Amino acid sequence: MSAPPEPTIVVDGVSKWFSGVVAVSDVSLVVEPGVTALLGPNGAGKTTLLRAIGGLTQPSQGTVTVFGERMRRNPALYRRIGYMPEHESVYDFLTGRQFVELGARLHGVADVAGASSRAIEIVDLAEHQDRRLGGYSRGMRQRMRLAATLVHDPPLLVLDEPLSGTDPAQRLHLRDVIRALAAEGRTILVSSHILEEVDELADRIHLMVSGKLAASGDYRAIRQKLDDRPFLVRVDCADPRALAAGLVRVEAVESVEITGTTGVRVRSRDVSSLQRALPAVARDRGVRLTRVEPLDDSLESVFEYLASGTGR
């Protein structure tokens, strides 16, 4: 039996607070080779945690080790790390190529021109490399920043919201690039606030909510937890009493509440069964449905549910 892969990143009990506001609270996790996603709504503490992992900020508590070494105040370790910050600011007066070459020089790359050309080729921006960054679209800027991040061919990439600002075609391209880089044996940690975005991207997902780690696992495990949570659905119809009477007999329905003269609120843990049962009950009772709407299906509410502990 082969030994489990050595974790590239070990986060141990990390907390970070700013003037009394807790941004990250006692987070422990490991990141191994492959693509790992840090998922959570805006303000969940993802960027703060990534900044602690990248050595840009000192954790108030806890430790971060990367390749077995302390990250903070250890600049030599950046030879093995490519870190793409969340904010999109760049040196607008540089061309895309100059920006990538600057990164290569500062990383001590031997063949600056060759490495820069390869990195720009990977993100498919060779055609635009001699334009100033100030004139780039958001998506192009993201891709050129990715080129500068991987120009020294690091075994670890930390990418904070790398798909943000990209159009669907660019997103697909970047996703393929990230998957290909991981297939070469790299460890890649990406953050995102969109669950579907990480579906085909990440092997493992760490969910963060309100500064805490809410859940960890692969996409299927996270999806299962999401499916297991109670859903609240609003149904508008001509005869809510008749519909409610039918729905209470459905096994998948936990509770039904009549709201006003035209609606019911249905709570269920098995949304698939409810989806099948609802039209059948309406048909049997002769009730015409005018509206079916999930009431708490926003990503934030999903995250809040998982963070509450009931979803673990």
Residues lying near another protein in the complex (CB under 8 A): 51, 54-58, 73, 75-79, 81, 83, 85, 87, 89-91, 93-94, 102-103, 105-108, 148
Write out the two tokens for 143: 């891709």
DSSP annotation of 76 reads G
User: To the nearest whole angstrom, how small is the minimum distance from the Cβ of residue 275 to another protein?
Assistant: 46
Q: Where are the alpha helices (DSSP H) in the chain?
A: 46-53, 96-106, 112-122, 138-150, 168-183, 195-199, 219-228, 240-247, 271-285, 299-307
Q: Which residues, including other chains, have CB under 8 Å from residue 270's CB and lie 6 or more apart?
A: 252
User: To the nearest whole angstrom, how small is the minimum distance from the Cβ of residue 86 to another protein?
Assistant: 9
User: Which CB, 73 or 249, lies closer to another protein?
Assistant: 73
User: Which CB, 114 or 279, lies closer to another protein?
Assistant: 114
User: To the nearest whole angstrom, how small is the minimum distance from the Cβ of residue 110 to another protein?
Assistant: 14
User: Which CB, 102 or 126, lies closer to another protein?
Assistant: 102
User: Which CB, 41 or 82, lies closer to another protein?
Assistant: 82
User: To the nearest whole angstrom, how small is the minimum distance from the Cβ of residue 310 to another protein?
Assistant: 35
User: Which CB, 51 or 97, lies closer to another protein?
Assistant: 51
Three-class secondary structure of residue 80 per DSSP? helix
How far apart CA 311 and CA 217 sit, in angstroms, is 13
User: To the nearest whole angstrom, how small is the minimum distance from the Cβ of residue 80 to another protein?
Assistant: 9
How far apart CA 38 and CA 303 sit, in angstroms, is 13
Task: Answer yes or no: are the C-beta atoms of 50 and 203 closer than 8 Å.
Answer: no
Angle between helix axes 240-247 and 271-285 (nearest 10 degrees) is 130
